[in-house]
Structure formats: structure tokens, C-alpha cells
Amino acid sequence: MISVDAVQQRHKLEARSRGYRLHPDPEFLNPLLEGLRANEERYGYPSCPCRLASGVFDLDRDIICPCDYRDPDVVEYGTCYCCFYVDEAAYERGSADPIPERRPQEKQMRALMADEDEEGQEAVPGESAGVTRRTSRPRGRRSTRRPKRFAWPPSRSSRAVFAYQCSLSASSEL
């Protein structure tokens, strides 16, 4: 079992090597660290606790913390998507503002589809990739399905990110 302290030390060293810091507020930081720990135990790799992980390493490769989007996000916005890694200015302020999602929608959908496939659906052979059929679970046995990703209580900043993303999608439909 991996400890939250070990996860924090590993990411502190990673942040320091790039000139970043971890979010200064322990109330905000601790659920993220717990999410990383839980995802690492569940999947075998520390997938981002703020994004939906499929549990398939190749599909989640871009969201293994530190994710592929961290550096461009910190350069442009001063924080990564989760507000886990922050630049020196955000650290000094003691807070970080929510930012838009940079992960392409296609990758988000593939992770979602992989999660649905795991929940009793399988791809129909010879059909296009999006076609699925229901399969039955064996009766009388406990499901061996992986648990859902770690669900930490949504903070005000995560609700703001969701509201911002909704406003972006609504404005793009106009």
C-alpha cells in the first residue's frame, strides 16, 4: 500500500525539478493526493484524479500525473488543470483559478467508452468501433469489475471549471 506522504514527496520532487510548486492549501491538496494514491493502487499508475481514467494504460497514458498537459497549462495559466501544480506566482497568492480542459474530446470519449465496455458491454465483432451489445453477468458471483475512479468532494474551483466548460460548449453551439 502506498502512503499519501510518499505520493506527496514524489510529486514535490517532480514539481521542484520543473520550477513548480504543489498547491499551497492543504485542504485542497490532500484530496488530490488521496485520489492519486487511490488511482495508483487501483490501476497500477497514478492517473489524474480530476479526469476520468479508463483503467487501460495506453488510453490513459496522457493523464498519468504529471500529465502531458501540465507544462503548457502552467506556462499559459499558472496552474495545471487540477490546480495540483502551480507556478510561483499562484503559490505566492495562495490560490489558483480554474482553467479550461486541454485534453482532446476524442481521448475523453475513448476513456468513457472503455469504462462502458467494462460495465457489461462489449464491442460487436465486425462492426464499427462505436457499436456495442449488452452482455450478461454470471449470476451468483460477485462482480470483478474495477471500482470507479476516486470521487473526492467537488470543491468550488472544480464546480467553476465545470461551469466554465459548459459555457464554452454553449457558446460554441451558437
Each domain of the chain, given as residue ranges in start order, spans 4-103+146-173
pLDDT digits (tens, 9 = 90+) for 143-160: 444 444 444 444 555 555
Where on the phi/psi map is residue 96: left (φ > 0), alpha (ψ -120 to 50), or beta? beta
The whole-number pLDDT of residue 57 equals: 92
Residue type, 156: R
- Report the alpha-carbon distance of residue 143 to residue 135 in Å, rounded: 13
Helix axes 4-18, 26-43, angle to 10 degrees: 110
pLDDT in tens, 102-139: 999 998 888 888 766 655 444 444 444 444 333 334 44
Please state whether the predicted TM-score (pTM) of the whole model is above 0.85.
no
> What pLDDT is recorded for position 174?
52
Q: Which CATH class is domain 4-103+146-173?
A: alpha beta
**Separation between Cα atoms, residue 30 and residue 82, nearest integer Å:** 12
